[in-house]
Structure 1
């Protein structure tokens, strides 16, 4: 299907050689999603307004702003490759904002993948803000807010992948959204090269071969995403492991502080209490039990050291953060099977 917007508000549709004229309106939901459209026949000063009316019909609802609408132009040339939509496009300078209210009224959850050919684009999603240059690519997930800012004119390849086509093979795709994939990694390089070659023959496929071409694109880009996702998850695991060790070390160093609590550890680690609790639990450590066991272990050690014979049991308990001698005695007996006094005596007699 080809769509051309004319200056008098008419849209000329051409599909399988048949030509049809329809009146422009602000929503084109009654028309099948266009594979191709151009604003060449629209006066320059009106192009951005026409484009803004059309853009959410082509993909998903967004807010679009242009600081220099008098210079705006846009065209899209795409096709369906089975379940995958692919094509090439030129878009003028603009700011795109996908907000929560847009998501609420949108049923389309296809993951968008962009490969710039010329020009640059800033993309922001999931707390990442990245400048994407020609030869790189990125993905956005329409089920969460994102922002895009095109600098100058942007010519690019695009793919719209059914969400389940990617998420069935990838976990936590949100870890790689708004991330620049360059050609340094083999799968990313292979995927981009295939996409560029594919863009030259998009109009030449029969339905069966088109589906196969789309499936290959999905597989290659999925592998490229997996390649980076594996690195991100590995880095995340290593990072969390280091955080766990630092948290544990901080607790061990402050056992003598009777006021030590999880909130204090979180502040020192510059983490939220909830995150720290999850981090410790992930490492098999329950904060209160760990602190109690470590304090008891240090008390038990001091009870057997000859140099501490002049220290009372209560003094040793208070030295390691206990502030109630009765609670210490009960806890010690429950853990070691005997009272602190008997424990000290049994070790002194050896």
Structure 2
């Protein structure tokens, strides 16, 4: 699924006896393994999913007949990247259960769950919910602290919760905002808004001070964002800038599910991908764009781009705009 489109999956086009298995297979491929217990007979199963990519974040708007979804202990140990799932209720009621807590969701309310632990999503009377999938590495808050605010209902208690609920609802329910360039432009601000909200909860519970240096992870990630385009961005440089050892840098990042090299590489590639898609960049060579984002070896950049996106930089550029005068 490309970043400029919304893919629709609808069970109504399938024979009733095939719907449950088809849904399980689709979820396992596109979102993550989940056991689904339908609360209606096979002929009454109705599920419609609209999936979009928002930069590094995923969005799934789901409507269905009654069901319960469970991520088991075994599924939570799979090799998919650690992710926070934010369930935002559109209508009706739902429930998020994790780590012994239960969050009842009413319209406009939302709760988190952590894919590295078992969880349950219960929609006995039907589901009408937006799900945001945010990589744990993007949140850059202590993982242990985030786990303690999962399955906690949010959305009405504070102005920050209301702001997040309104923003995420608007993005999810406006087709023009969840596709094309708008989706890419809104991805990072949306993540930052969620991060700011979660940081207030972490601070309120005193979790960010257990110990105080855990909050350094957020500063490290922000430093990496600011210096992403610089070729000499390295573990040694980052550690020196924060007066810590390289070893401790890796410890901090690992606690938030961040692999340093992969993080830098993925975000540099994403910036190159966005730059290559802009009509205003047609007069700039691919090699120049790659160098601008820290790739000093054009051949290495081309291989990495193809491994990540399935096409070469030149092929990607050609699909975004007429290639009549594009420089090499």
Range of TM-score over shorter length:
0.5 to 0.7
Question: In structure 2, the residue corresponding to 1:118 is in which secondary structure?
Answer: coil
Match of residue 197 from structure 1: 170
Q: CA deviation at 1:44?
A: 3.6
Match of residue 123 from structure 2: 150
1:165-196 Cα deviation digits (max 9, x unpaired):
11347761011101100222111100111112
Q: CA deviation at 1:109?
A: 1.8
Could you say if the C-alpha distance between residues 40 and 176 of structure 1 is closer, same or farther in structure 2, counting changes exceeding 3 Å? same
Q: CA deviation at 1:110?
A: 1.8
Match of 2:198 among 225, 242, 254: 225
Q: CA deviation at 1:122?
A: 1.8
Q: Compare CA radii of gyration and give the structure with the larger one.
A: 1
Match of 2:104 among 114, 119, 131: 131
Distance 2:48 2:133 in 1: 17
Indicate whether 1:76 and 2:49 are aligned: yes
Match of residue 244 from structure 2: none
Could you say if the C-alpha distance between residues 170 and 107 of structure 1 is closer, same or farther in structure 2, counting changes exceeding 3 Å? closer
Distance 2:99 2:77 in 1: 18
* Counterpart mapping for 1:1-350 below 5 A: 1=1, 35-70=7-42, 71-168=44-141, 172-203=145-176, 208-233=181-206
Could you say if the C-alpha distance between residues 150 and 106 of structure 1 is closer, same or farther in structure 2, counting changes exceeding 3 Å? farther
Q: Report the TM-score when normalising by structure 2.
A: 0.57
State the aligned residue count.
209
Higher RCO (C-alpha 8 Å, min separation 6): 2
Maintained 8 Å contact 1:59/1:108? no
Maintained 8 Å contact 1:119/1:151? no
1:56-101 Cα deviation digits (max 9, x unpaired):
2221212221232332211111211111112422132112221221
Q: CA deviation at 1:149?
A: 1.4
Q: Report the TM-score when normalising by structure 1.
A: 0.54
Distance 1:138 1:229 in 2: 14
Distance 1:197 1:175 in 2: 27
Question: In structure 2, the residue corresponding to 1:61 is in which secondary structure?
Answer: coil
Match of residue 315 from structure 2: none
Maintained 8 Å contact 1:109/1:163? yes
Could you say if the C-alpha distance between residues 189 and 16 of structure 1 is closer, same or farther in structure 2, counting changes exceeding 3 Å? closer
Distance 2:145 2:129 in 1: 26
Could you say if the C-alpha distance between residues 39 and 185 of structure 1 is closer, same or farther in structure 2, counting changes exceeding 3 Å? same
Distance 1:66 1:204 in 2: 32
Could you say if the C-alpha distance between residues 57 and 92 of structure 1 is closer, same or farther in structure 2, counting changes exceeding 3 Å? farther
